[in-house]
Amino acid sequence: MHLPENPAGERPLADPGRIVPTCADSHVGTIRKSRWACGPRLSEGPLGGKRMKINHRIPLNGNDPFWKYIQLLGLPIDRGNIRYSQTGDGTDLIWVLNVTEDNPVWPKVEHLLAEHRILTQVNNIFTEAEMNSAEWFLVSALGHHGYPQPEDDFGYIDVTYESGSCCPVCRIGKVQVAPFRLRTEPKASHSQFLQLNWVFDELFVRATAREGLISAGITGIKFLAPVLHKRNTPSEQIVQIKIQTILVDALDTTGFQPVTCKSMNEEWRPNKWITPDKESNRPFCGRIKYHSMHRGPYRFAREAFIGVPDLVKSTEWFGSGGGAFRRIIASQRFRQVVTEAKWRGLRFEPIEIINEHT
Ligand SMILES: [Zn+2]
């Protein structure tokens, strides 16, 4: 076992090659061969010829033998002071390596990762020029605050979404019919944009940014105040941004790990709780969602964006296990408004627009 149970306070990683049922936007990636194995097809898209880098973050016990080889390669290791337990003898430090795939020694590191059965946390690093020239972005909040109420047994699903609108197994198809309910007003007063845990396809915004979005004429949105659960009164601090438009089918799913809502699907593993018998009796819907992918940009067809407003959602669903969400997509204009106002709390990741008939 090369990975501590909970490195750097993050969720446990799993063995390489396993399909990992992670939280919706986990950056844990598998070292698996895919179409990205030779690098994303940047040269084919509008980001071609630029300098997006794919970074791998590797947090591991400082005593792991992996580090001996990394030191031989001369890569800089962050020997910070992150601890994963409290033995107090200095043997529990987490060391961290960040290495991008354009590094000349990356092939050797990749080989070592496979040999040592180590997973990495993958993210794309875009240049400012790429950020400024992109037309559309995946958008998510940098911080997730609180849980939708009632949270026991995911009770919020029944009170927030149309009854029977989503599959009870995979949660694809949910249609919101009531305000989200919050335990308390959110903290993080410095962030104008927030998301709740578990709800990765809804953004919440503070009053300053809401007024700014309205006056900038950002299109495709309405606002709905969430409700403070026990008081049963609307939040006075944030409103949900209700995105009105779902794109048509547009995602190039090449390289994505699909998860089908069916018995013994791509994520299924034998265990004592869910036998094949019990599994096959569940009310599967047969629909597909995809694991989030962090290596290379998402690619969408240009046709899907003709005439759409500044904020939209993908028609495709993402997630794993009993979680499903659509991706929020925003225009460059929306990013410019947010950036110029210096509102905090959002992550923008350029998507690649495919001209299908070129
Ligand atoms: Zn389903």
Torsion of CA 178, 152, 346, 55, to 10 degrees: -140
pLDDT for 23: 38
- Tell me the pTM: 0.80
CA 127 to chain centre: 20
pLDDT at 7: 35
Identity of residue 166: C
| Mean pLDDT across 47-58 | 77
Q: How many CB atoms lie under 10 A from the CB of residue 291? A: 23
Q: What is the Å distance from ligand 1's center to 171 Cα? A: 6
25 CA to centre of ligand 1 in angstroms: 20
pLDDT digits (tens, 9 = 90+) for 138-178: 999 998 999 999 999 899 999 999 988 889 999 999 999 99
**CA 102 – ligand 1 centroid, Å:** 39
| Residue range 185-222, pLDDT digits in tens | 998 888 999 999 999 999 999 999 999 999 999 999 99
CA 281 to ligand 1 centroid distance, Å: 13
Distance 288 CA to ligand 1 centre (A): 8
Over residues 53-72, the mean pLDDT reads: 91
Give residue 199 CA to ligand 1 midpoint distance, Å.
17
- CA 108 to ligand 1 center in whole angstroms: 41
- CA distances in angstroms from 270 to 32, 118, 275, listed in the order given: 22, 23, 7
Sketch the domain layout of the chain as residue ranges: 7-127, 137-248+304-354
How far does residue 119's CA lie from ligand 1's centre (Å)? Answer: 28
User: Taking the alpha carbons of 293, 295, 301, 302 in that order, is the dihedral positive or negative?
Assistant: positive
pLDDT digits (tens, 9 = 90+) for 251-292: 999 999 999 999 889 998 877 666 767 777 788 999 999 999
pLDDT, position 103: 94
**pLDDT digits 0-9 by tens, 6-20:** 333 333 333 333 333
For ligand 1, the distance from its centroid to the CA atom of residue 289, given in whole angstroms, is 9
From ligand 1's centre to the CA of 95, what distance in Å? 40
- CA gap 246, 5 in Å, rounded: 39
The pLDDT value recorded for residue 186 is: 92
